[in-house]
Each structure stands twice: as C-alpha cells, then as structure tokens.
Structure 1
Amino acid sequence: MQEILQQLAERWIVYKIDLTNFVGLTNDAMHIHISLLLLLVSAILFRRRPDSIWCWLVVFCAELFNEYADIRGAAPDEATLDAAIHDIYNTMFWPTVILLLGRFLFPPRAKKGKNKEAVSSDLPDQSFKESATV
C-alpha cells in the first residue's frame, strides 16, 4: 500500500507542477481555487449542499493527500511542516467558512413528517380528506 501511495504522490507532484505552470497562478491561489472547485463538485456528486460535512471531508482528504505528496514527492519548497500547515490553512479556510456559516445563515428545510396529511396542490390550505367549498 505504501508503494502505491508513493507512486501516486510522485505522479501527482508532476501533474500539480504542470497545472500550476499552465494556469499561471501562485501555489496559494491554486489551493484556494481547487478547494472551492472540489467542494462544489462533491456537492453535485453527493447531491448535498456545499455546507455538508461530507463535502468538507472530501476537500480535507484531498488536501491531506496533497500534503503527503508534497512531503513524500519532495515538491520544490513544499516539503516542510511549515509549508504543509500553511497549505492546509489556505485550502480549508473557505470550505470551513461555508460549512459553519452555511448552517447558520441557510438552515436546512424541515422535512415533512410521515404522519401529516397530504396537502392538495389545487387547494393548498385543505387536505385531501376535506371537501372543497366553492
């Protein structure tokens, strides 16, 4: 397993360096943009809100693998503990803000209970059991 992770880390470092050079952004900016992209893509794939803990965990796991790859793959200027902490902070800042504030500012809708009577779409204030008085 360790050997597979090492090979993935080495491939990821080469891909990451090429992507950063192609896009022309700094390493810090790439961390921020990719974290938000991963958060939104995971929300679409999981069919959850972006403030879901599951979407946040996808970003966090991806960032942990990225830091593992930086340290194991000996990425230039990235193979130190200080650089790893800085990258984790940069990557996780906005997903964490979205996770925390999203729950307070936009609370999930209350699910309708199974015991409640079904509501007619024609007359939303009357249930199916009541007759319409027109």
Structure 2
Amino acid sequence: MVSLAGPVSSFQLAKLWLVAHTGLAKDALHVYVALILFFGSMLVFRWRPGDWRPWLVVLAAALAGELWDIGDTLRWQRRVYWAANWKDIWNTLFWPSAILLLARWTPLFGRRGRR
C-alpha cells in the first residue's frame, strides 16, 4: 500500500479503491478510463471515432487528473516526478490516439475521409 503524508484527497482515495477492488494496476486503469471516456463521449454526443472531440475529452481528463496528482504531491511536500506524470498522460492517450488516427486515415471505421 502507498504511504501518504497528510490528508488524502477524495481523488486519491478513489484511485486506491479502484486499484484494490479491480485488481488492476494504476497504469491499466489509465487505459480503461481513457477508453470509457472516449467511447462513452461518442455514444452520449453521437460523435464519430474520427472526430477530435472524444479525444479532447480524454486529453482534458488526463490533464486534470495529473494536475490533481501534482497538486496532492505538492501538498504532501513531496517531490514531483514529471516523467511519471508524463507517462500517465501518454499511457492514457495512446489508444484513443490510435483509434482516432485509424478512423481518420484508414477505411477501418468506414469511408476514408469521412468524419
């Protein structure tokens, strides 16, 4: 279990709860949450896979989550490991980026060029 100095934010508690109850690593959760946000926003707003908007939803969530993590780290007066934060953003955006590019530039998701 991770040792945290100071009060733990609700965001950190939620992440620890998910790790404990799903049996998944935090890196895997980044991928799952990204895909849920990507496909969920497509379903809710009727966006297509080649549209930038679902990808932007994932980007916004990834940046917000990492900013929250950085804020908590600073509140606990610990060192921020920028490489780890970057890895989380990259890991979160990889599959939505791949799906977006495939949808925009290949016939995999329908006619090429159709958005």
TM range (shorter): 0.7 to 0.9
Structure 2: gaps (5+ residues): 1-7
- Match of 2:3? none
Structure 1 residue 86 corresponds to structure 2 residue 87: yes
Greater fraction helix: 2
User: Cα RMSD between the aligned structures?
Assistant: 2.5
**Matched-pair identity in %:** 37
1:34 corresponds in structure 2 to 33
SS in structure 2 opposite 1:73? helix
Matches within 5 A, 1:47-126: 47-74=46-73, 79-105=80-106, 106=110, 107=112, 108=114
**Who is 2:11 aligned against?**
12
In structure 1, distance between residues paired with 2:79 and 2:92: 14
- Amino acid aligned to 2:37: L
- Name whichever of 9-18 and 50-59 sits farther off: 9-18
TM-score norm. by structure 2 comes to 0.78
Measure, in 2, the Cα distance between the counterparts of 1:34 and 1:58: 11
Task: Report the Cα distance in structure 1 between the residues aligned to 2:66 and 2:9, rounded to whole angstroms.
Answer: 12
Stretches of structure 1 lacking an aligned partner (at least 5 in a row): 1-8, 110-134
Consecutive aligned runs of 4 or more in structure 1 exceeding 2 Å deviation: none
**What amino acid is aligned across from residue 100 of structure 2 in structure 1?**
L
Q: Distance in 1 between matches of 2:12 and 2:43?
A: 27
TM-score (normalizing by structure 1): 0.67
CA distance in 2, matches of 1:13, 1:73: 8
Deviation at 1:50, TM superposition (A): 2.5
Distance in 2, Cα, partners of 1:37 & 1:66: 15
What displacement does 1:65 show? 0.7
Instruction: Name the count of aligned residue pairs.
Output: 101
Kept in 2, the 8 Å contact 1:10–1:69? The answer is no
